[in-house]
Amino acid sequence: MDPQLLRSTFAVVERRAEQAVTFFYSHLFWHNPGVRELFPEDMLPQRDRLFAALTHVVTHLEEPGLATYLGQLGRDHRKFLAAPALYAAVGQSLLAAFAHAAGAAWTMEAEKAWSEAYGLVSDLMLAGADTAARAGEPAWWDADVVRHERYGEDLAVLTLRPRQPLPFRPGQYVSVSSLRVPRVWRTYSLADAPRPDGTVELHVSRVAGGAMSTALVEETGPGEVLRLSAPGGGLTARTPRGGLRTYICGGTGWAPVRALLAEAAEAEPELQGRLFVVARAKEYLYGREDVELLKERLPGLHVTYITAAPRQRRHQATERLLQALRACVHWSAHDVYLAGPPAFLTDVREVLEELGTEPARIHHDTLPSVGRFTTRPSTAAERLLGPPAPLWHNPEARAPREG
């Protein structure tokens, strides 16, 4: 492959991203009519995720972690029943869409480079899927809803019992699907360490216009069955025993942080660290009781709650957090575990680096956000997708995830 040629061609395509993705799906469905039924009715989120995934591949072409990323992506795509024939059809339509969008920049050399690149991508994804299948991993886990608790109008905590053991590490997430919203999957964090009874907990925020979050918060009840994808994500504990650490969470970012702290309470009760729990208002500090219980088990954990002042805009909570972080010291000695909405992650990470935290010690997941295309993108493809508004109870488009 020629990474520079791939990037230069992609730079042309991304300026016409909406045209490219629209052409791609039109071409795919026209030439493969049976494929349409594999996709959700609302294609806008799917369109955005496709381009975000392409952006990730192009951005990380020469990095050693790309093969692992693609293997995990292939493993995850088993939930879509993606067969080798679908990969081939997608490749044909992708090249056709790029040729359409790139215009004169689509040379024979560019077509060769992209054909080789897609061949490598599909091979690595199929290998990841095959490895999971050989290990006996199901394409998804059916899970019964055993408890559904509401916190206010827009937040619910769901307790599920998978019908098969679901192996995962604290801090990871799963994609969730419901028959109420066919062929739609949304990501949520698992909010605890593995439990003896095998149940798992999800924190879900209802988002205006969000079909899945609305279904899970307002309509789902005990006795229903949800589907869970294979767990994924890298927000897992990696600090050596005795190492200092700071946990920062906004909104339902509390879910993965709670899981990490539950794990630490079992494995390292002498942990020394800091926890910042941020919410847009006091009434949204839904996890405070759990925080206090964990603090009893982790006496060396210093906890700070931060909200916006009454009748103030929710963004003030972030501003107050950043002030609190600047008042702390010894950042270079801490690993930081960070979870929350996209804008929250960006703002906090920038300040942490300013304060001396090594970038490699700031841990958080980053998944493609779901927004709407702009008509004239002028920056990198991630920005084209448009960061969603920083809702403290994370939106369906959450990067890293909904809960």
Domains, the chain, ranges and CATH? 3-134 (1.10.490.10), 141-228 (2.40.30.10), 244-385 (3.40.50.80)
Q: Is the dihedral of CA 196, 193, 210, 150 positive or negative?
A: positive
Q: Quick check: helix, strand or coil at residue 310?
A: coil
Helix (H) or strand (E) holding 50: helix 44-59
Instruction: Provide the pLDDT for residue 189.
Output: 93
Instruction: Provide the pLDDT for residue 263.
Output: 96
**Which residues are CB-neighbours of 134 under 8 A, at least 6 positions away?**
none
Phi and psi, residue 248, nearest 5°: -130, 125
Instruction: Provide the pLDDT for residue 367.
Output: 52
DSSP per residue, 326-386: HT---GGGEEEEEES-HHHHHHHHHHHHHTT--GGGEE-----------SS--S-HHHHH-
In 167-239, where do the E strands start and end?
A: 173-178, 181-189, 200-205, 225-228
Instruction: List the pLDDT tens digit at each of the 403 positions of the chain.
Output: 688 999 999 999 988 888 888 899 899 999 998 888 888 777 766 666 777 788 888 888 888 888 998 999 999 999 988 889 999 999 999 999 999 999 999 999 999 999 999 999 999 999 999 999 999 999 999 999 999 999 888 889 999 999 999 999 999 999 999 999 888 899 999 999 999 999 999 999 888 778 899 999 999 999 999 999 999 988 999 999 999 999 999 989 999 999 999 999 999 999 999 999 998 888 888 889 999 999 999 999 999 999 987 766 767 888 999 999 999 999 999 999 999 988 889 999 999 999 999 999 999 987 544 443 333 334 444 444 443 333 333 333 333 344 4
